[in-house]
Amino acid sequence: MFTQAERLISLRNLRPKKKEGFLKIISIFSFLGIMLGVATLIIVMSVMNGFKTDLTNKILGLNPHIIIEPNNFKIDNDYISKIKNEFQNISLSKSYVGEGIILSNNNAKGVMFKGIDKSESNRIEFFNNFIAKGNLDNFNSNSIFIGSELAYNLNLKVGDNLNLMSSAFVSTPLGSLPKQENFKVAGIFNTGFLEFDRNIIFLNIKDALSIFDKENKDQSIEIYLEDPLQANFYKNKFQKINQNYFIYTWSDLNKSLFSALKVERNVMFIILSLIVIVAAFNIISGLTILIKNKTKEIAILKTLGLSNKSIKKTFFLTGLTIGFFATLCGIILGVIFSLNIEKLRLFLSDVFNLEIFPSDIYFLDKLPSEINFNSILIIFIISLFISAIASYLPARKITKMNTFRALRYE
């Protein structure tokens, strides 16, 4: 593609003379601008990818993949049997979820009550992974498991007693009052997902049905899949078996969240790409000045028989070389920062006493990062394409130069 003479001339252009110090400064700024732009793009994309992956894993680890609610129809055993027989690689659990208030030590907090059967394999796996204090053996009738954030906010510990108030009403001589029952804290779980640890409590399903004045027919079916990404496929299959029930997936519950993440990621990519474009303007400036300074040399090369096309290619290669190595250095710098982003956050937080990644806002307790090689490849190609355009624009002006006039006045 490039001859040896073209590569040699391009290499000499990359080493300006002492009197061309300003040109050297422009080349350095071009290199640094593209390098930092590419590095910033990779770091931001890695954090966005890591945030999405961690958030997805948290949601999938803490929530069922598909939920089937009765919708005023009893979920009969025939329907459950059909699902089990037709789909072998799924796991089913029963639950009941309702809203209520937890009362303790003159404090009150609105939370979600989730009634479960602790003997089911999905529940055992959950508590084995996330129990911070307490024991699953103590999770019996009139006992609950609460999240670590909720325990901290209400100053609760294992063994404490409290009241739970549901949205169901009971008739008393004083009129209808919300139903209340006494419970004991059997344990505390910590998932690292603050919204979950702050707003969910677990109780036995019989206690949940009792406090909400419900019956067994009001229970929901929770389904766990080997591949959660196939949830919508299974949802359609379940709906064909019986359309009376209300069926939704984990992605339905979090559709707006993941749509917002996707839009934010795309917007950040576009905005940060402008950094590379702005840095590429330095290549245009540098090559334009270089061509002006090399007018005499260009004229001599033309008289020696070097074609306009070859001369254009030498200056094009000069700009492209700057862009290529700047992009390469930017990728290396971005990957190094992405791999150590959490250590850097902790360092800056300790030195400047700043909360750079507030866990109560971003749902996660550490700054995530996931390097995606497809994203790096796209960033590399875009940066190289921008550098190529920036190199071509000033190089094409060489064809308009008048060789004899250049020799006469130089």
* Segment 256-281, tens digit of pLDDT: 777 777 787 788 888 878 878 887 87
8 A C-beta contact, residue 290 and residue 10: no
Residue 399 clears pLDDT 70, i.e. is over it: no
For residue 232, name the pLDDT band (cuts at 50, 70, 90).
confident
8 A C-beta contact, residue 62 and residue 192: no
Helix, strand or coil for residue 207? helix
Average model confidence (pLDDT) across the chain? 80
Distances from the Cα of 72 to the Cα of 65, 94, 97, angstroms: 22, 16, 15
Distances from the Cα of 229 to the Cα of 47, 52, 330, 341, angstroms: 22, 14, 34, 28
In this prediction, residues 109-130 reach a mean pLDDT of: 86
Alpha carbon distance 357, 341 (integer Å):
11
166-177 residue pLDDT tens: 887 776 666 677
Residue 332 clears pLDDT 90, i.e. is over it: yes
Alpha carbon distance 25, 402 (integer Å):
29
Helix, strand or coil for residue 111? strand
Between residues 291 and 264, which one has the greater pLDDT? 264
User: Residue 202 has what pLDDT?
Assistant: 92
CA nearest to 284, candidates 205, 396, 367: 396
Angle at 348 between CA 345 and CA 353, to 5 degrees: 115
Alpha carbon distance 269, 153 (integer Å):
39
In this prediction, residues 195-214 reach a mean pLDDT of: 88
Distances from the Cα of 257 to the Cα of 55, 188, 230, 393, angstroms: 10, 28, 19, 43
Between residues 11 and 148, which one has the greater pLDDT? 148
Between residues 101 and 52, which one has the greater pLDDT? 101
Residue 409 clears pLDDT 60, i.e. is over it: no
